[in-house]
Amino acid sequence: MPLDVTLVDKQSAAYVSGMRSVLILTLMLGGSPAFAADDECISLAERLDAAHQSFPAVIGETTVPLMTWRASCAENSPDGPGKIVVLCEADTTDGRGVFYWLKQDANGGSLGYRSCI
């Protein structure tokens, strides 16, 4: 199956190539292509929990990696400088949801989240 993607720069090309390899290996091994991303979302939730006392407790099995913030429960995009590298959403133990992310820029990374109703 050919991958039809318009590439913007070499970093994007490397990312697409790497993701294609992950997808092929995952399908060959019989797993879910989102499995690694789910682990990344769980790890990010743990980091947010340690960094922000107000971050809600998430139900690990409900974490979902997202491709765009518009697919989330949030009404607005993540704010602040940097390029979004990880987007996730999960149900919380209080019956709500949470949308959270990791952004990277020249100064390092920043974490953020929004609770959903």
**Out of 23-27, 34-38, 52-56, which region has the weakest mean confidence (pLDDT)?**
23-27
The pTM for the full model equals 0.65
CB 87 within 8 A of CB 69: yes
**Tens of pLDDT, residues 70-93:** 888 888 888 888 999 999 999 999
Taken in order 28, 30, 32, 36, the sign of the CA dihedral is negative
Q: Quickly count: other Cβ atoms within 10 Å of residue 54's Cβ.
A: 8
Which pLDDT score is estimated for 71?
Answer: 85
Half-sphere exposure for 79 (CA within 13 Å, toward CB): 4
Which pLDDT score is estimated for 37?
Answer: 60
